[in-house]
Amino acid sequence: MPITPEQIAALHQAATQAAQNSYSPYSHFRVGAAVLLESNAIVAGTNVENASYRLTSCAEQAAIAAAVTLHGPQVRISAVAVVNLNGATCMPCGACRQTILEFATPDTLVFYPSGTGEIVETTLIALLPAGFRLLP
């Protein structure tokens, strides 16, 4: 099912609102992410830092955890939008790409800021060409 411009705009709006609630006292890098589920629900999350950086939660993983919490483990992601309030390029990190793949297909759309004010549209497989899968 194609993603509409209205859905893309709603994803970006939800991600931007989530970024407003970022807990990032160490890096001050405020990130929000929103996932569009196959059910057309949009669920957002933000990054939550920790003094022990390894324990930091990324916005994409927060959004996916919220989606599973709200809609159950069968959720399927149709698209992901990532934003930040710092004006930087901000594509999902490797761990987030792998987490997205757990609930998506390789052709799932991913939107992220280029750092020049433009939004990059790509697919998950372009970002994670050899993603690890245990389930078919």
Catalytic positions:
60
Alpha helices, H only, the chain = 5-19, 59-71, 94-102, 124-127
Residue pointed to by tokens 């990190």? 93
CA–CA dist 48, 31 (Å, integer): 9
What size, in residues, is the chain?
136
Query: What backbone phi and psi angles, to 5 degrees, belong to 89?
Result: -60, 140
Query: With 0-12 CB in 10 A as exposed, 13-18 as middle and 19+ as buried, what is 15?
Result: buried
CA–CA dist 93, 90 (Å, integer): 8
